[in-house]
Structure formats: C-alpha cells, structure tokens
C-alpha cells in the first residue's frame, strides 16, 4: 500500500515505496530488498509488510508469518547468488535490541552469504 503502517519507520516507508530500495521479492505479506551497506557479496533483508518492532513483539499470531520468512530465505539466497549447500550456504541473523546491534525497529531477517574466497575448506 502507499501508506506506511508506522509513519516514522524507514522500513515501513520502503514497503510503501516512499524510500527507494532494490527489491528482491514481494508478496502479500513479505518484502525483501538488498541491504544498503552489505556485509558480504549477498546481503538482503526479508521483512513483514506489517510493522512488527522486533522479535520481542512476536506472539503466537505471528508464528505462521515467521515461518514463511524463514522458509523463503534459502530460495532467495540461491537466486541471489549464494553457493549451494553445503560448500556454500548463508547466515540468517535477527538482531534484537541495542545490545545485539538492532538499529532499525522493524523486524528483519538478514540473509548473508556469497563467495568468500578467503575461507578455506
């Protein structure tokens, strides 16, 4: 939709198209886009379109949505150039709270991977 759920939230504005992003995926309830400051060759974020502040705001009503976010990650990771499991793979990270490094208070799943030529084995 064109109206953010939380008008002060940058990820709500990305979902609404009010802040541009490089979209990876979209459906009725999820949105995925490349991180603006990637930590690795592949780094994108999967977020619910609805505003959920963090994992601390998750309740039983969100279990299906969280399952969809997790289940979507491997498919998009492969599409975005992560190498196949098990030699390749990816990390899934959800920072929760300031002491975990959470900076944006709209739940997001980091998907991080891609070729790491400096790793051996």
Instruction: List residues near Zn ion by CB under 5 A.
Output: 6, 9, 11-12, 51, 106
- In the complex with ligand 5GP, which residue's Cβ is closer, 56 or 85? 56
Interface map 12-51 toward ligand 5GP (x if CB under 6 A): -------x-x-----------xxxxx--------------
Q: CA 60 → CA 27, 57, 64, 86, 115, distances in Å?
A: 21, 10, 8, 32, 37
Q: Which of 43, 51, 105, 108 is catalytic?
A: 108
Q: How many whole angstroms separate alpha carbon 47 and alpha carbon 66?
A: 9
CA distance linking residue 14 with residue 12, whole number of Å = 5
Task: Examine residue 8 and tell whether it contacts ligand 5GP (CB under 6 A).
Answer: no
54 near ligand 5GP, rule: CB under 6 A? no
Note whether 54 and 98 are within 8 A (CB). no
User: Which residues form the interface with ligand 5GP (CB under 6 A)?
Assistant: 10, 19, 21, 33-37, 95, 101-104
């Amino acid at each position: 939709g064109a109206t953010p759920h939380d008008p002060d939230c940058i990820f709500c504005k990305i979902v609404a198209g009010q802040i541009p992003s490089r979209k990876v995926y979209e459906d009725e309830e999820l949105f995925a886009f490349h991180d603006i400051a990637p930590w690795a060759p592949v780094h994108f974020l999967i977020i619910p379109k609805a505003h959920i502040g963090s994992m601390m705001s998750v309740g039983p009503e969100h279990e299906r949505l969280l399952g969809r976010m997790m289940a979507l990650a491997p498919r998009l990771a492969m599409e975005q150039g992560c190498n196949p499991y098990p030699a390749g793979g990816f990390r899934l990270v959800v920072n929760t709270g300031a002491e975990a490094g959470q900076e944006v208070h709209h739940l997001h799943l980091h998907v991080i991977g891609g070729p790491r030529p400096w790793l051996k084995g």
